[in-house]
Amino acid sequence: MEFEEDGIGEECGVFGCVAAGEWPTQLEVAQVLTLGLVALQHRGQESAGVVTSNGASPPTYTSHKGMGLVSSAFPAEALLKLRYGNLGICHTRYSTTGISELQNCQPFVVDTLHGKIAVAHNGELVNARALRKKVMRHGVGLSTCSDSELITQLLALTPPMEELDTPDWVARIKNLMSETPSSYSLLVMYKDVIYAVRDPYGNRPLCIGRVVPISKLHSAAAGEEDTEGWVVSSESCSFQSIGAKYYREVLPGEIVQISRHGVKSLSVVRRPEGDLPAFCIFEYVYFARPDSIFEGQMVYTVRQRCGRQLAIEAPTDADVVSTVPESATPAALGYAQQSGLPYMEVLCKNRYVGRTFIQPNTRLRQLGVAKKFGVLTDNFAGKRVVLIDDSIVRGNTISPIIKLLREAGATEVHIRVASPPIKFPCYMGINIPTKEELIANKPEFKDIAGYIGADSVEYLTVEGLVSAVQEGITSLKEDEMGSSNGCRGKVGHCTACLTGKYPVELEW
């Protein structure tokens, strides 16, 4: 691959669907699952997998997995194969730990004494190493390095299978949750139900949607009797594309059972006294699709607020405000609105530039990121530009862009970053470069503007970011968040990569 991405990577997206009512229904579950995956594709492009169940007793599970984007990994035959599913879960993966091979691809299905379970997982267990050892000490061989396989074996293993007459998967899930505090948003499919689980810190997102007739999609009149199915997803942006209404979030620590009869909250596992929730703040800043809703607010709006806050914290004497397309655009528009400076596009992205098999060591390599962006000279030649970026990780993307703008005639280029400097690694599901690679930890950071060639560089403060994020939440009425069950009321976010304060102890 030619381009080294200068970013941070999400680990995964999970999605599930259960057709409502008497099976089989009209709802084509395999199609819903696949389209749901496509809508979560920004969370992982390495591989994709779907497992469906016909929900019978014993159930027949059908699975399909493939490398690459959903569009190439799921040919027509795959959908044909999966078409008898009445419920199913799926997963799209961005490899962090583990090799890029089909066998690491989720969901993971195992046969147990009580039948098959399927597991899809977004997150990273902070104590995975210790848990692997525990499982292997019990005599289990692990065939992948996937946390999902580990979770699956933990579910099968404790308490011992033989002690139970019928399987109490909820007890097993609770047991699992007592073994590992974070981070996981989990879908466990067993026969005819899906258990949707979020870790007690709510570190990774998970929300529920209700599938209704397309004609009633945006109608307030769509009542319970109109429910065609239930979906559960890492992000609500996937609901739009399959024709579902946003229902509610799975709460931190909550175990929700989704069946053809509906959605039922089974239990909420509490955090230790005094611990705040710790939803990953970078979901707002960078990962999530702008039309997704977390904690009652739209991601786009939060990003706009970050831009406004940045304009207050770091005003600039300049002629135009612009964006590094496409992710920084809401913040740039917010900055423009707040500052009163005109918003202009200065770069245009070639969306076909991707993996090309160009050998390195050539003059073309020197071009770097310039291959990706066209310059809209007329919009900024002879002007002072404030360029908004969402984050700077290694600093090797922004630098050639600044050079490009200057050479095309910008008289000044000021960089304003709509998030604070990233200084610490993440052990909870995000693929951040090592501490040494992060520009914020390098000596050059003292003169970051000089280093990347900008006239000035300013970051949003941690306080500014947190307040921009939490401002929208406090304004939220309690009843919009789903049934109140004691674990709400407090607001908190994981800012570990910015502050080094991890929400749980890291047992490495």
Subset of residues 383 to 402 that bind its own copies, contact rule: CB under 8 A: none
Q: How far is the CB of 443 from its own copies (least distance, A)?
A: 26
Subset of residues 200 to 229 that bind its own copies, contact rule: CB under 8 A: 213-214, 217-219, 228
Judged by CB under 8 A, which of 110, 171, 312, 506 binds its own copies?
Answer: 110
Q: Residue 237 interacts with its own copies (CB under 8 A)?
A: yes
For tokens 């005094």, the residue is: 274
Q: Residue 140 interacts with its own copies (CB under 8 A)?
A: yes
Q: Residue 94 interacts with its own copies (CB under 8 A)?
A: no
Subset of residues 275 to 314 that bind its own copies, contact rule: CB under 8 A: 289-292, 298, 300-301
Which one, of 187, 130, 98, lies nearest residue 431 by Cα? Answer: 98
Q: How far is the CB of 335 from its own copies (least distance, A)?
A: 14
Q: Residue 359 interacts with its own copies (CB under 8 A)?
A: yes
For tokens 């423009």, the residue is: 336
Q: How far is the CB of 418 from its own copies (least distance, A)?
A: 16
Under 8 Å between Cβ of 427 and 402: no
- Report residue 449 as tokens: 């503007």
Instruction: Report the length, in residues, of the chain.
Output: 508
- Report residue 472 as tokens: 């929208």
What's the rounded Cα separation, in Å, for the pair 129 and 198? 21
Peptide bond into 283 cis (omega under 30): no
Secondary element (H or E) of residue 155:
helix 147-157
Q: How far is the CB of 440 from its own copies (least distance, A)?
A: 28
Stretch that binds its own copies, among 16-24, 273-281, 362-370, 489-497 (CB under 8 A): 362-370
Sign of the alpha-carbon torsion through 329, 331, 332, 334:
positive
Under 8 Å between Cβ of 465 and 303: no
Closer by beta carbon to its own copies, 158 or else 265: 158
Q: Residue 375 interacts with its own copies (CB under 8 A)?
A: yes
Closer by beta carbon to its own copies, 155 or else 426: 155
Binding residues for its own copies, total number by CB under 8 A: 103
**129, burial (CB in 10 Å: exposed 0-12, middle 13-18, buried 19+):** exposed
Q: Residue 76 interacts with its own copies (CB under 8 A)?
A: yes
Going by their DSSP bridges, the two strands 184-190 and 115-123 should be labelled as antiparallel
494 assigned binding-site residue: yes
Q: Residue 171 interacts with its own copies (CB under 8 A)?
A: no
Closer by beta carbon to its own copies, 218 or else 446: 218
Judged by CB under 8 A, which of 129, 367, 437, 463 binds its own copies?
Answer: 367
Q: Residue 13 interacts with its own copies (CB under 8 A)?
A: no
Closer by beta carbon to its own copies, 357 or else 508: 357
Stretch that binds its own copies, among 149-157, 185-193, 253-261, 310-318 (CB under 8 A): 149-157
For tokens 């493939």, the residue is: 66
A 10 A CB-CB count for 30 gives 24
Residue 311 neighbours by CB under 8 Å, 6+ apart: 334, 335, 338, 339, 416
Under 8 Å between Cβ of 242 and 32: yes
12 catalytically annotated? yes
- Report residue 393 as tokens: 């990780």
Q: Residue 57 interacts with its own copies (CB under 8 A)?
A: no
Q: Which residue numbers belong to the known binding site for [4Fe-4S] cluster?
A: 280, 426, 494, 497
Active-site positions read: 12
Q: Which residue numbers belong to the known binding site for Mg(2+)?
A: 327, 389-390
